[in-house]
A and B are shown apart, each in its own frame.
Chain A
Amino acid sequence: MNAIILSAIWAVIMMLGSFMVKRKGNFRHIAAFGLLVLFVANIADTYGYSLFNFNNHGFLQFTRFGYLFNSIAIFSSLIYVLITGKEISRYGNHTAEYFALIFFVMCGVSMLAFYNNLLTLFLGIEIMTIPLYILTGSDKRNMKSNEAALKYFLMGSFSTGIMLMGIVFSYGGTGTFSLDVSRAGIPNLYNHVASFLEIVGLLLLLVSLAFKVSAAPFHFWTPDVYDGAPSVFTSFMATIVKAAGFIAFIKLCLVRMTATSAAIDWKMIFAIIIIATLLVGNITAVFQQSVKRMLAYSSIAQAGFMLFSLFSVNDFAKEGILLYSAAYSLATIGIFAVLVKMKDYTFEGYNGLAKKQPLLAATNTVFLLSLAGIPLTAGFFAKYYMLAAVVKTGSYLWLVIVAVLFAAVSVYYYFRVIQAMYFKDGNAETEAITPSFKAGLLLVAALIILIGVYPGIILNWLYF
């Protein structure tokens, strides 16, 4: 509860701050402080110290899982603001508003971590995405940014419509918006398990959530939007927001899809989505010339891996998605932090970075290795848990093989960046690099390796 309310309040503070604080540079400090407060408040909440206690009538459900994810999301945002916060002020005069929007997004993220009702799911998704439409278009003078915002908005509203329709159908089938449904008294059962309407509703919900997490074949918005949006905001959208989408998704799967799994083979549908996502993400990323666009496709490919947790809804999947969120968010934030400092976003722009900025190149290598899932980085265990979860289910084992093959493909395009940085001659131009920025990158790289060596550091929180 703390996180939801405090993030909204802090958003308002940032909003009012836009005309109360004179120095533009101060906003990111206020924002970082706010995220720190959120983080502490959320941890306190985890151990039962809630500032706000009131009956939410089952609209929200506070579980260890939600708290832990929320902590990871807030922590990642904190890191994000710390190392790229400076770049946010680059776009226009509305720095404070941008931060306010980020806090509104956090409010939506927290809501998704705790939702227990389709209405709160809808609210969370909308609170989370509407600010993103604005952030996408925040570079007002850039046509690409405007185009991306409009595209995102149009397609986002389309998927919102589908989601609402899904919720309505589901309501029609069960008579409740709550996630937990007692199906005892419901007539017209399909395959003796669930109402036919509910299943149609769930299928539509699945489609709209697949859209939000950019799973193929509903991914079309992703490359255009990620490419068009200002890089700093792409970083935010591709990491924390996407992870939140997955948390919302897995919760729906854990409750609703599991309950209706006897009526419909969700596994098959997810298998189709996973294959399509891995295929589109990895194959298309291979041929990109711009690192930013490659990252957009790679984020689709990574989503393919995260989808495994929805496929195999078990304890491993739950642990795995948390680990994946942390690993993926940290690495991607790091890569984007380096990216925004580059003058040229193409692969050629990275040529010879290792000579000019050895630390940037080294940490960037760690991030890329983590995304590729090389052992001793966080990404390895994240992928490992995902695949182990599938193995645990005992069916569709060929999916694991396919996934490993695609992971091998992904190594190709991640290593292209490393190759450019280390083995090609060139004059990679960067903006001015401050020591604190370097320190931030080092911290992120250290965290990635720490998680890669000892994943228990995150997962143990789930249990004590």
Chain B
Amino acid sequence: MNSIVSLVPLFPLLGFLINGLFRKSLSKTAAGIIGSGAVLLSFIISVYLFSDIKGNEGYIVNLFDFINVASFKISFAFQVDQLSVLFLLIITGIGFLIHVYSTAYMKEEVPADFARYFAYLNLFVFSMLLLVLGANYVIMFIGWEGVGLCSYLLIGYWFSNTDYNYAAKKAFIMNRIGDLGFLLAIFWILGKLGTATYSEVFDLRNTLSETDITAITLLLFVGACGKSAQIPLYTWLPDAMAGPTPVSALIHAATMVTAGVYMIARSNVLYAMSEVSSDVVAVVGLATAILAGTIALYQNDIKKVLAYSTVSQLGFMFLALGVGAYTTGVFHVMTHAFFKALMFLGAGSVIHAMGGEQDITKMGGLYKKLPKTTWTFVIGVLAISGFPFTSGFISKDEILISVFEKSQVLYWFAVFAAVLTAAYMFRLMWLVFFGGFRGTHEQEHHLHESPAAMTIPLIILAILALVGGFVQLPEAFGGKEYFNEFLSPVVPAMSHEGSSVATTEYYMLTGTVIGLAVIYFLTRKKFAVSMFEGVYTGVKKFLADKWYIDELYDAFIVNPLNAFAGFLKSVVERSGIDGLVNGVGRFVNYSSRQVRLLQSGQVGSYILFMVLSITVFFLVFWNQDNIAHFLTNIF
């Protein structure tokens, strides 16, 4: 019965195979049903697993030995516990909604491309499930690479556009840098402990020296930085918006980018042992949150704003992890998945309605034509800004409290980041949905509400974004922290002790309300349509141009590397390596011709050679000691 878990990744794999192999003969309807159905089946099983695991011990399902060499063994095993099941629910649940949404969003594609899209999407879900289900770091790494590959394929889905291919390549390369860190961490673990299975690694953690722990956790964090778009490896994520919008929602908001959070939450016992690493995680997370938040303030592409907001929210998650509030980090993953997927899908709906337009300066007043999209999007904005008692409020509030207990300085920076979040989100909301329409007449005529396949996922996600947080309502507000309780067998919750917590909660609630009100009016005034300006100057330009980080990377890393590669190609390779290789080739060819002559075809000469060889053998044998002596003298 336990092995039912293997069905969860199996269905998307089957979906991928069917859609991938028969993509030329499948109709769009069939491809959509197969793609969505596979994920739905996985979701149903995940729900069953969820009800089964509640309050129970986690278990490991061994499928087969993946690598088995002498004493070194890595099994292909799945770990079923509260943490992995929670991620299963998020991945398959939101994954299913996005699959359904995609059937409408991608309607314009030709059938073969449509099926290709769903094949990739299914492959992604499969890889992601592998990532969270694996019972050791190696399986996680397989999934990790798999999602990276799918992300690459999907960003470059419209591969006829060179820019998109460039974005896909950029994402892949950035990820590879992170993967290298992850891989090194795995090697380090294997080298020191001889096993990569979580439970064994965690049991043996006390045998590791402090240096080992710090190195391993930092290297793992490098991996997480790549996948979860943290400083300094975050620049790929905004560019990844080249992919279809549902892909951005699924991969670049709800699931794949949270893989880093999952990895750290999974390894929480290791991070708990290293102060240094935890501090690094917290500071990098916070810095990312602020940096991305400031950039998001002046972006004009609707998807770019959301992308930077994602980077910023991921920073929040890492901040939570860094201060030791692992469950809170995971909780923010969940709530963020709700409202960010919601907003991306909403953005998709808007882009759909605008006929492909993504520039928010050309939008405005859409609430009249797209009521469902507007109101669900507004709910998303409220949730991410932390409007009281929405899911985002509860999770972000908890992060802030955890940070407050750790360090006051970090806390005030975090509050600043949260204010930024609200600011750029309200700006986006005002510019897109309210005020007057600024686009062309043709676009205005084209405006229409999206079909049900797109709005129903929006509505479901909106409801989740509104009430999804109540599973973790702080006790100060008369709730109970079910979420922490659920995760407690795997990830220990940070306990907020003392009566001051309740007081703090109330302060925060009040602060939030006041802050939001101020931001509401400020942004309304500041970004009111009449005040809108098309060209930025000064600090605004600096922010709008993303702090010139990409240019910095180009100048200091990409261009020198290119120059170096050019040198290697023109000088080292052409004259050095090519010469050597060709020389070896010529030598082999020459000796081949010579050795071939021995094969004369005459039995007599063959036998003569054999007899001579036997004689040589006997001579060698009788003088073996001398020869061995001789050889050792030479070498």
Report if A and B touch in the complex (beta carbons < 8 A): yes
- Which residues of A are in contact with B by a Cβ distance under 8 Å? 151, 154-155, 158, 162, 199, 203-204, 207, 211, 217-218, 220-221, 223-224, 264-265, 268-269, 272, 279-280, 283-287, 316, 388, 409, 412, 454, 456
Known A283-B595, A456-B68; judge A220-B610 contact (CB<8 A): yes
Cβ of A203: which chain B residues have Cβ within 8 Å of it? Answer: 617-618, 621
Whether B592 is near chain A, meaning CB under 8 Å from some CB there, is: yes
Of the residues B69, B591, B596, B603, contact of A388 by C-beta under 8 Å:
B69
Of the residues A217, A287, A456, contact of B589 by C-beta under 8 Å:
A287
The docked-state distance in angstroms from the alpha carbon of A268 to that of B595 is: 23
The docked-state distance in angstroms from the alpha carbon of A211 to that of B617 is: 14
17 contacts between A and B (CB under 8 A): A151-B606, A154-B603, A154-B607, A155-B607, A158-B610, A199-B621, A207-B614, A211-B610, A220-B610, A264-B624, A268-B628, A272-B620, A283-B592, A283-B595, A287-B589, A388-B69, A409-B588
Most buried by B among A220, A269, A280: A220
Q: How far is the CB of A36 from the nearest CB of chain B, in Å?
A: 28
Nearest residue (CB) in A for B600 is: A220
Interface residues of B in 41-70 (CB under 8 A from A): 64-65, 68-70
The docked-state distance in angstroms from the alpha carbon of A155 to that of B617 is: 19
Cβ of A283: which chain B residues have Cβ within 8 Å of it? Answer: 588, 591-592, 595
Contact A286 B592 (CB under 8 A): yes
Cβ of A158: which chain B residues have Cβ within 8 Å of it? Answer: 607, 610
Contact A221 B606 (CB under 8 A): yes
Contact A287 B599 (CB under 8 A): no
The docked-state distance in angstroms from the alpha carbon of A435 to that of B617 is: 51
Contact A269 B620 (CB under 8 A): yes
Contact B624 A287 (CB under 8 A): no
Nearest residue (CB) in B for A413 is: B592
Cβ of A220: which chain B residues have Cβ within 8 Å of it? Answer: 598-599, 606, 609-610
The docked-state distance in angstroms from the alpha carbon of A316 to that of B596 is: 34
How many residue pairs between the two chains, A and B, have CB atoms under 8 Å in the bound complex?
A: 73
Cβ of B592: which chain A residues have Cβ within 8 Å of it? Answer: 283-287
Shortest Cβ-Cβ A-B pairs, 5 listed: A287-B592, A220-B606, A217-B613, A286-B592, A283-B592
The docked-state distance in angstroms from the alpha carbon of A283 to that of B593 is: 9
Cβ of B624: which chain A residues have Cβ within 8 Å of it? Answer: 264-265, 268
- Which residues of B are in contact with A by a Cβ distance under 8 Å? 64-65, 68-70, 588-589, 591-593, 595-596, 598-599, 601, 603, 606-607, 609-610, 613-614, 617-618, 620-621, 624, 627-628
Of the residues B591, B599, B609, B618, contact of A223 by C-beta under 8 Å:
B599
Given contacts A154-B603, A203-B617, A224-B599, 10 further A-B contacts (CB under 8 A): A155-B603, A207-B613, A220-B599, A220-B610, A223-B599, A224-B601, A268-B620, A268-B628, A454-B64, A456-B65
Cβ of A272: which chain B residues have Cβ within 8 Å of it? Answer: 620
Cβ of B591: which chain A residues have Cβ within 8 Å of it? Answer: 283
The docked-state distance in angstroms from the alpha carbon of A203 to that of B65 is: 42
Q: How far is the CB of B433 from the nearest CB of chain A, in Å?
A: 52
Q: How far is the CB of B602 from the nearest CB of chain A, in Å?
A: 9
Contact A284 B595 (CB under 8 A): yes
Contact A268 B618 (CB under 8 A): no
The docked-state distance in angstroms from the alpha carbon of A162 to that of B64 is: 48
Cβ of A199: which chain B residues have Cβ within 8 Å of it? Answer: 621
Cβ of B627: which chain A residues have Cβ within 8 Å of it? Answer: 268
Contact B613 A218 (CB under 8 A): yes
Contact A269 B621 (CB under 8 A): yes
Of the residues B588, B603, B609, contact of A217 by C-beta under 8 Å:
B609
Cβ of B601: which chain A residues have Cβ within 8 Å of it? Answer: 224
The docked-state distance in angstroms from the alpha carbon of A264 to that of B623 is: 10
Most buried by A among B70, B593, B596: B596
Cβ of A264: which chain B residues have Cβ within 8 Å of it? Answer: 621, 624
The docked-state distance in angstroms from the alpha carbon of A207 to that of B69 is: 33
Chain B facing A: main interface SS:
helix
Contact A155 B606 (CB under 8 A): yes
The docked-state distance in angstroms from the alpha carbon of A296 to that of B596 is: 13
The docked-state distance in angstroms from the alpha carbon of A454 to that of B598 is: 41
Contact A284 B599 (CB under 8 A): yes
Nearest residue (CB) in A for B66 is: A454
Cβ of B613: which chain A residues have Cβ within 8 Å of it? Answer: 207, 217-218
The docked-state distance in angstroms from the alpha carbon of A369 to that of B593 is: 25
Cβ of A456: which chain B residues have Cβ within 8 Å of it? Answer: 64-65, 68
The docked-state distance in angstroms from the alpha carbon of A211 to that of B601 is: 17
The docked-state distance in angstroms from the alpha carbon of A154 to that of B606 is: 11
Q: How far is the CB of B348 from the nearest CB of chain A, in Å?
A: 38
Nearest residue (CB) in A for B592 is: A287
Q: How far is the CB of A409 from the nearest CB of chain B, in Å?
A: 6
Of the residues B64, B68, B588, B609, contact of A286 by C-beta under 8 Å:
B588
The docked-state distance in angstroms from the alpha carbon of A264 to that of B625 is: 9
Of the residues A221, A224, A280, contact of B595 by C-beta under 8 Å:
A280
The docked-state distance in angstroms from the alpha carbon of A211 to that of B592 is: 22
Q: How far is the CB of B145 from the nearest CB of chain A, in Å?
A: 15
The docked-state distance in angstroms from the alpha carbon of A162 to that of B611 is: 10
Q: How far is the CB of B234 from the nearest CB of chain A, in Å?
A: 34
Cβ of A454: which chain B residues have Cβ within 8 Å of it? Answer: 64
Cβ of B65: which chain A residues have Cβ within 8 Å of it? Answer: 456
The docked-state distance in angstroms from the alpha carbon of A283 to that of B589 is: 8
Cβ of A287: which chain B residues have Cβ within 8 Å of it? Answer: 589, 592-593, 596
Cβ of A204: which chain B residues have Cβ within 8 Å of it? Answer: 614
Contact A286 B589 (CB under 8 A): yes
Q: How far is the CB of B623 from the nearest CB of chain A, in Å?
A: 11
Known A218-B610, A268-B624, A286-B589; judge A207-B617 contact (CB<8 A): yes
Q: How far is the CB of A319 from the nearest CB of chain B, in Å?
A: 10
Cβ of A280: which chain B residues have Cβ within 8 Å of it? Answer: 595
The docked-state distance in angstroms from the alpha carbon of A269 to that of B618 is: 10
Cβ of B617: which chain A residues have Cβ within 8 Å of it? Answer: 203, 207, 269
Cβ of B595: which chain A residues have Cβ within 8 Å of it? Answer: 279-280, 283-284
Cβ of A285: which chain B residues have Cβ within 8 Å of it? Answer: 592
Q: How far is the CB of B305 from the nearest CB of chain A, in Å?
A: 44
Nearest residue (CB) in A for B612 is: A217
Q: How far is the CB of A323 from the nearest CB of chain B, in Å?
A: 13
Nearest residue (CB) in A for B608 is: A220
The docked-state distance in angstroms from the alpha carbon of A409 to that of B595 is: 15
Nearest residue (CB) in A for B597 is: A284
The docked-state distance in angstroms from the alpha carbon of A405 to that of B588 is: 12
Q: How far is the CB of A317 from the nearest CB of chain B, in Å?
A: 13
Nearest residue (CB) in A for B625 is: A265
Nearest residue (CB) in B for A280 is: B595
The docked-state distance in angstroms from the alpha carbon of A279 to that of B595 is: 9
The docked-state distance in angstroms from the alpha carbon of A199 to that of B622 is: 11
Nearest residue (CB) in A for B624 is: A265
The docked-state distance in angstroms from the alpha carbon of A160 to that of B617 is: 18
Q: How far is the CB of B608 from the nearest CB of chain A, in Å?
A: 10
The docked-state distance in angstroms from the alpha carbon of A285 to that of B595 is: 10
Cβ of A409: which chain B residues have Cβ within 8 Å of it? Answer: 588
The docked-state distance in angstroms from the alpha carbon of A221 to that of B602 is: 10
The docked-state distance in angstroms from the alpha carbon of A269 to that of B620 is: 8
Q: How far is the CB of A70 from the nearest CB of chain B, in Å?
A: 24
The docked-state distance in angstroms from the alpha carbon of A286 to that of B458 is: 64
The docked-state distance in angstroms from the alpha carbon of A211 to that of B613 is: 12
Cβ of B620: which chain A residues have Cβ within 8 Å of it? Answer: 268-269, 272
Cβ of B614: which chain A residues have Cβ within 8 Å of it? Answer: 162, 204, 207
The docked-state distance in angstroms from the alpha carbon of A446 to that of B628 is: 46
Q: How far is the CB of A450 from the nearest CB of chain B, in Å?
A: 12
Q: How far is the CB of A315 from the nearest CB of chain B, in Å?
A: 9
Q: How far is the CB of A453 from the nearest CB of chain B, in Å?
A: 9
The docked-state distance in angstroms from the alpha carbon of A272 to that of B592 is: 19
The docked-state distance in angstroms from the alpha carbon of A268 to that of B621 is: 9
The docked-state distance in angstroms from the alpha carbon of A228 to that of B177 is: 55
Cβ of A218: which chain B residues have Cβ within 8 Å of it? Answer: 610, 613
The docked-state distance in angstroms from the alpha carbon of A285 to that of B589 is: 10
Nearest residue (CB) in B for A276 is: B613
Q: How far is the CB of B124 from the nearest CB of chain A, in Å?
A: 22
The docked-state distance in angstroms from the alpha carbon of A47 to that of B64 is: 24
Nearest residue (CB) in A for B69 is: A388
Nearest residue (CB) in B for A151 is: B603
Q: How far is the CB of B607 from the nearest CB of chain A, in Å?
A: 6
